[in-house]
Amino acid sequence: MKFYSKKLFVLTLIVLMSLLAACGENSNPASSDKNSENPESENNDAEKQTEQEEYFFTFANVTESGPLFVELGEGVKEAAEVAGIKLKTYDNKFDGPTALQNSKLMVQDKPDLIIEYNGVEGVGKSLEAVFKKAGIPTIAVNIPVPGSPLFNLSNEEIGIDTGKVVAEVAKEKGWTADNTTVLLVQSSKGGWEINNSVRYFYVTVAEETGMQEVKPEDITPMTTKIGEHFIQVDSEATLESSYQAVKNVIQTIPKDRNILLYSINDDSSLGAWRAIEDANRTEKTLVAGLGGSKQGLDELRNNENWVAEGSFFMGSWGQYIMAMGVAILNGAEPPEVTFSPQVVLTKKNVEEYYNGGYEPVVLPELPEQNQYLIETGVLQKFNNIEGLE
């Protein structure tokens, strides 16, 4: 009896376990079928998670004291907001030690990405060491930081294109190599690349007007004069420093000579132009700006002697930099230089891009090397680039 009872118990237990297993097998396919009937459920969860993810960037502006750079800073903040990116900003004050100190503070913030606009090329290696040690990806703006992809205009191209426009206006006025001097305002501490604009401006004007020709590499930060055709002064790339530099040299240019004035940015050109006004030399001076700032656009529209304005749409740089940052965090390998949009504005074409205001109504098409930015979807949020929807 005991044996029979034990055997009956074992058989009953086996049957119960089989029934439970069968129930489990029947329940799993039902759960799987439910997911297959709603395949969007998993995708929606992923999209929701992506939308909730917020990147954190830090941005050190070269300075917050000049109109052009204030415009840049505000543009970066606005772009970050549109792109849904948290942003913290710093002011490098056009000073190397300040930029280095700010780099250490930015690293302590532990951002996903750092945007570095340093105005002193000589501290680039030190900045590289800080960012490399922290292992935080970095974008350099306008002036290179070794090891970081660069966002910048083509200073060479803008210098050439501006030189052609100014030379044509000068020739229409009957100005020649015999009666004209090119006055350039550089910023030696900014490094070689940033001064390519003024360097290639002179090379182009010389070719167009018959002035003494030199190779671009022969115009160095130490070059101050080439015959009667070329005078170069140094500045901090700010309005006040450029005013003082031109004020100190203008008296060395004979009053019967015409002047073609050009500098590395609008703030500098505005300061240099003020010195020309103080010296009562405006009637025999043509000037071109670089930056497309509000002040530069006003001068182009209202000052008959301000004949060209190289615009690289600095107020819109933020949207490209945000897209560049997101692309890097998504695993993209950007080219050595991602170029800003740029065009040389004249009195004839300015309103095609600005339509009477200060915000561009359209930005030029993306060049080939910038096509990688499209995949991030960031630029599409601004809806202002020609050919991009």
Handedness of CA 380, 311, 372, 75 (dihedral sign): negative
pLDDT score recorded for residue 4: 36
Non-local CB neighbours of 193 within 8 Å, separated by 6+ positions: 143, 144, 152, 155
Q: What is the pLDDT of residues 75-118, one digit of tens each?
A: 999 999 999 999 999 999 999 999 999 999 999 999 999 999 99
Looking at per-residue pLDDT, the higher value among 338 and 24 belongs to: 338
Least confident range of 40-49, 72-81, 109-118, 332-341: 40-49
The pLDDT of 284-307, averaged and rounded, is 96
pLDDT score recorded for residue 66: 80
pLDDT score recorded for residue 47: 38
pLDDT score recorded for residue 1: 41
Q: What is the pLDDT of residues 133-164, one digit of tens each?
A: 999 999 999 999 999 999 999 999 999 999 99
pLDDT score recorded for residue 53: 65
The pLDDT of 249-268, averaged and rounded, is 96
pLDDT-based confidence at 32, cuts 50/70/90?
Answer: very low
pLDDT score recorded for residue 183: 98
pLDDT score recorded for residue 210: 97
| Neighbouring C-alpha atoms within 13 Å toward the C-beta of 295 | 19
pLDDT score recorded for residue 33: 36
pLDDT at residue 198 tops 70:
yes
pLDDT at residue 2 tops 60:
no
pLDDT at residue 20 tops 80:
no
pLDDT score recorded for residue 389: 78
Q: How many CB atoms lie within 10 A of CB 319?
A: 25
- Looking at 3.40.50.11890, 3.20.20.70, 3.30.300.30, 3.40.50.2300, the CATH number of the domain 155-311 comes to 3.40.50.2300
pLDDT-based confidence at 67, cuts 50/70/90?
Answer: confident
Task: For residues 197 and 348, give the distance between their C-alpha atoms in angstroms, rounded to a whole number.
Answer: 22
φ, ψ of residue 203 in degrees (nearest 5): -55, -40
pTM (two decimals): 0.73
Task: For residues 85 and 59, give the distance between their C-alpha atoms in angstroms, rounded to a whole number.
Answer: 12
Task: For residues 72 and 69, give the distance between their C-alpha atoms in angstroms, rounded to a whole number.
Answer: 5
pLDDT score recorded for residue 50: 35
Looking up tokens 């009562």 gives 280
pLDDT score recorded for residue 187: 94
Q: What is the pLDDT of residues 177-188, one digit of tens each?
A: 999 999 999 999
- CA triple 6-7-9, angle to 5 deg: 65
CATH architecture for residues 54-153+315-340+364-381 = 3-Layer(aba) Sandwich (3.40)
Amino acid, single-letter form, for residue 72 = L
HEC states along the chain? Answer: CHHHHHHHHHHHHHHHHHHHHHHHHHHHHHHHHHHHHCCHHHHHHHHHHHHHCCCEEEEEECCCCCHHHHHHHHHHHHHHHHHCCEEEEEECCCCHHHHHHHHHHHHHCCCCEEEECCCCHHHHHHHHHHHHHHCCCEEEECCCCCCCCEEECCHHHHHHHHHHHHHHHHHHCCCCCCCEEEEEEECHHHCCHHHHHHHHHHHHHHHHHCCCCCCHHHCCCCCCEECCCEEEEECCCCHHHHHHHHHHHHHHCCCCCEEEEEECCHHHHHHHHHHHHHCCCHHHEEEEEECCCHHHHHHHHHCCCEEEEEECCHHHHHHHHHHHHHHHHCCCCCCCEEECCCEEECCCCHHHHHCCCCCCCCECCCCHHHHHHHHHCCHHHCCCECCCC
Q: What is the pLDDT of residues 205-258, one digit of tens each?
A: 999 999 999 999 999 999 999 988 999 999 998 999 999 999 999 999 999 999
pLDDT-based confidence at 165, cuts 50/70/90?
Answer: very high
Q: Domain segments of the chain: what residues? A: 54-153+315-340+364-381, 155-311
Task: For residues 366 and 323, give the distance between their C-alpha atoms in angstroms, rounded to a whole number.
Answer: 13
Are 54-153+315-340+364-381 and 155-311 in the same CATH fold? yes
pLDDT at residue 63 tops 60:
yes
pLDDT at residue 43 tops 50:
no
